[in-house]
């Protein structure tokens, strides 16, 4: 699936997006099932949870990797695991560990991309952000208001304190992409941190403030080339919603959540098949859009929707 996606949609400015989705289930025999939080349902339900990696470009977005999350209640019970087809070598891994392995695999397989992004459930991991930085992988990762960063004044400066006295002109009203109800418009600002790093790289904390409810502020940690603009970072942050669109369309059109398999290998096989179908539809749509553009403006190629990662 990854090779097919790269062949038809590969873009050095692409964004890798990590997220998980829930699959509501009855009973206790399906691999990994238990009462746990499901972002799909927005509450704790009896479900399975899968961690996915999406690939987003200006021509389309689709899923390129998947892993079934196994709670410790499963991996601590090896007999139960065996009955569900889970090999004894499969041990407990956090969702963040699964996400890290997927991105490492994308790097090892030389998947062309420029950025990594994820929500705060993954982006809060300082060790993962540090790993990405050591590999010189540019990223815009959501985090919580309780996260801390290194500044000129402190080694553990809370990110939410960086924006208390920021002048009004530092806030820029921008859209981070279109949603179901039109452009997603917020007020954005950024503050540089870790100022003693290498000259050709920068670290930023980005704040995204609700226009209607100014007290609602979300935060991101960014590592990027020097010269990357706030608008470019907003574009990458906004790309995270592409994985939600992938989940929605893959479930509605490709049967991502329409299965009755209970065993661990069967879950991964079904997900791979659904991902292949979704990738095929995404490529067909991109070709159709390219054809339509060629008919109306043959002299103009379609640029990437994301900022270049060139240093």
The reply to whether 49 and 104 lie within a common domain is yes
Question: What pLDDT was estimated at residue 307?
Answer: 61
The reply to whether 202 and 266 lie within a common domain is no
**Can you tell me the distance from the alpha carbon of 169 to that of 176, in angstroms, rounded to the nearest whole number?**
19
In whole angstroms, how far apart are CA 267 and each of 40, 79, 82, 84, 235? 18, 19, 15, 10, 33
Three-state DSSP at 308 gives coil
The answer to whether position 272 is within a domain reads: yes
- Nearest Cα neighbor of 243 from 21, 44, 85, 90 is 21
- The yes-or-no verdict on residue 175 having pLDDT over 70 is yes
pLDDT digits (tens, 9 = 90+) for 127-138: 999 999 999 999
pLDDT digits (tens, 9 = 90+) for 146-169: 999 988 777 888 999 999 888 999
The total of structural domains in the chain comes to: 2
Question: What pLDDT was estimated at residue 291?
Answer: 82
The reply to whether 282 and 255 lie within a common domain is yes
Instruction: pLDDT band for 299, please (50, 70, 90 cuts).
Output: very low
**Can you tell me the distance from the alpha carbon of 60 to that of 14, in angstroms, rounded to the nearest whole number?**
10
Domain assignment of residue 99, given as a range: 1-118+246-306
Lowest mean pLDDT among 4-18, 35-49, 221-235: 35-49
257 Rama class: left (phi>0) / alpha (psi -120 to 50) / beta = alpha
The answer to whether position 95 is within a domain reads: yes
**Can you tell me the distance from the alpha carbon of 261 to that of 86, in angstroms, rounded to the nearest whole number?**
13
The reply to whether 168 and 110 lie within a common domain is no
- The yes-or-no verdict on residue 264 having pLDDT over 80 is yes
pLDDT digits (tens, 9 = 90+) for 19-70: 999 999 999 999 999 999 987 778 899 999 999 999 999 999 999 999 999 9
pLDDT digits (tens, 9 = 90+) for 77-118: 999 999 999 999 999 999 999 999 999 999 999 999 999 999
Listed residues 189, 211, 239: the one ending a domain: 239
* Biggest CA pair distance of the chain: 63
Tokens read off for 161: 């304190």
- The yes-or-no verdict on residue 119 having pLDDT over 80 is yes
* Residue 302: DSSP 8-state: P
- The yes-or-no verdict on residue 196 having pLDDT over 60 is yes
Q: Find how far residue 258's CA is from the centre of its chain.
A: 23
Question: What pLDDT was estimated at residue 82?
Answer: 97
**Can you tell me the distance from the alpha carbon of 190 to that of 188, in angstroms, rounded to the nearest whole number?**
7
Whole-prediction pTM value? Answer: 0.91
Residue 104 neighbours by CB under 8 Å, 6+ apart: none
The reply to whether 156 and 251 lie within a common domain is no
**154 within 8 A of 226, measured Cβ to Cβ:** no
- Nearest Cα neighbor of 100 from 74, 125, 70 is 125
**141 within 8 A of 123, measured Cβ to Cβ:** yes
- The yes-or-no verdict on residue 302 having pLDDT over 70 is no
The pLDDT > 70 percentage for the chain reads: 92
In this prediction, residues 239-267 reach a mean pLDDT of 96
Instruction: pLDDT band for 122, please (50, 70, 90 cuts).
Output: very high
Residue whose structure tokens are 């059109």: 253
The answer to whether position 311 is within a domain reads: no
Q: Find how far residue 96's CA is from the centre of its chain.
A: 11
- Nearest Cα neighbor of 15 from 78, 68, 59 is 59
The reply to whether 158 and 225 lie within a common domain is yes
């Amino acid at each position: 699936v990854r090779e097919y996606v790269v062949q038809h949609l590969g873009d050095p400015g692409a964004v890798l997006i990590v997220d998980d989705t829930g699959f509501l289930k009855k009973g206790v025999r399906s691999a990994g099932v238990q009462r746990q939080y499901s972002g799909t349902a927005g509450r704790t339900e009896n479900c399975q949870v899968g961690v996915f990696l999406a690939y987003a470009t200006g021509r389309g977005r689709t899923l390129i990797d998947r892993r079934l999350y196994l709670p410790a209640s499963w991996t601590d019970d090896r007999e139960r695991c065996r009955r569900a087809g889970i090999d004894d070598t499969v041990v407990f891994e956090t969702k963040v560990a699964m996400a890290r392995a997927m991105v490492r695999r994308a790097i090892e397989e030389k998947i062309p991309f420029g950025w990594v992004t994820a929500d705060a459930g993954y982006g809060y991991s300082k060790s993962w952000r540090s790993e990405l930085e050591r590999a010189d992988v540019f990223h815009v990762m959501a985090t919580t208001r309780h996260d801390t960063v290194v500044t000129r004044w402190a080694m553990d400066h809370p990110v939410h304190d960086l924006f208390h006295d920021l002048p009004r002109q530092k806030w820029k009203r921008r859209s981070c992409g279109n949603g179901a109800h039109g452009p997603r418009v917020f007020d954005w600002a950024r503050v540089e941190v870790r100022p003693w790093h290498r000259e050709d790289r920068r670290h930023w904390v980005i704040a995204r403030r609700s226009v209607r409810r100014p007290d609602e502020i979300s935060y991101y940690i960014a590592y990027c080339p020097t010269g990357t603009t706030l608008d470019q970072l907003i574009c990458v942050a906004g790309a995270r919603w592409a994985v939600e669109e992938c989940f929605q369309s893959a479930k509605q059109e490709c049967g991502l959540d329409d299965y009755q398999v209970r065993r661990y290998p069967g879950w991964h096989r079904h997900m791979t098949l659904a991902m292949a179908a979704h990738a095929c539809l995404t490529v067909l749509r991109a070709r159709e859009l390219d054809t339509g553009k060629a008919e109306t403006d043959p002299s103009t190629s379609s640029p990437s929707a994301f900022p270049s990662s060139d240093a």
